[in-house]
Amino acid sequence: MQLQSNIVVIATRNEGKVKEFAKLFGDKGYKVRSLADYTDLPEIVESGATFAENARIKAQTISAHLHVPVLADDSGLCVKALDGRPGVYSARFAGEQATDAENNEQLLRALKEAESRELHLVPAEGEHPELLSPAAFVCALSLIDPVANEVIEAEDEFQGYIIGEHRGESGFGYDPIFYIPELGRTMAELSIEEKNELSHRAKALRSFLNQLPDVRKPI
């Protein structure tokens, strides 16, 4: 397997995601660009019912337009007490133009209103904040190279709990309320190096990168 370019376009404008991808792809010799580097791109309609379907739709749409390898991810938060919501609607849980802060507040409101919400104690030493529900960050990746006719896909998740307070200044999305009992910290309290070792996106990327060839020479 060999991609036809040493440049991979990440189908996102989210600077946090781009930084994570750029660091991991750099070890393989690839240069990363994002949608912010291009104009007149087609609209992406995320109509899939699963993370994997949405990732594939995004990669197909952008790669067909740019004719270069495109990596798309669809990721989100699945909360047990909300029957898996917000799921594929994680980025727009509080509305189409919702900010991260608005999505976080909407999630906490939904948990307070959920009849099925239970408190879950963690069998670990030390003190923890109130744990509102088990949850998992899920990430699906799809890379499509329209020239080489190559497709690489991977999916993984990271387990934790939702807490009712915001902690940490790093990360993005639901990171400030996603708590990891083993570490006693939220995802937003981790360094980028720690997050790149533990996160759902990092785990999916490792599986993905194992399938991706190193760049042999610039094209």
pLDDT at 11: 93
* 172 has binding-site annotation: yes
Buried b (16+ CB within 10 A) or exposed e, 96-128: eeeebeebbbbbbebbeebeebeeeeeeeeeee
Residue 127 phi/psi, 5-degree rounding, is -95, 145
pLDDT at 76: 95
pTM score, whole prediction: 0.81
Instruction: Find out whether 208 and 152 touch, Cβ atoms under 8 Å.
Output: yes
* 126 has binding-site annotation: no
pLDDT at 125: 56
* 207 has binding-site annotation: no
Q: Tens place of pLDDT for every residue, the chain, 219 residues?
A: 567 678 899 999 888 778 878 877 887 888 899 999 999 999 988 899 999 999 999 999 999 999 999 999 999 999 999 999 999 999 999 998 999 999 999 999 999 888 655 555 444 556 788 888 999 999 999 999 998 888 999 999 999 999 999 999 887 899 999 999 989 999 999 988 888 788 888 889 888 888 887 775 444
pLDDT at 22: 85
83 is catalytic: no
CATH class of the 7-209 domain in this structure? alpha beta
pLDDT at 57: 96
pLDDT at 17: 77
* 99 has binding-site annotation: no
pLDDT at 118: 54
pLDDT at 46: 86
Amino acid at 41: L
Catalytic position from the list 40, 73, 74, 83: 74
DSSP of 50-71: SHHHHHHHHHHHHHHHH-S-EE
* 17 has binding-site annotation: yes
Instruction: Find out whether 146 and 67 touch, Cβ atoms under 8 Å.
Output: yes
**Residues near 5 by beta carbon (within 8 Å), at least 6 away in sequence:** 68, 69, 145, 147, 219
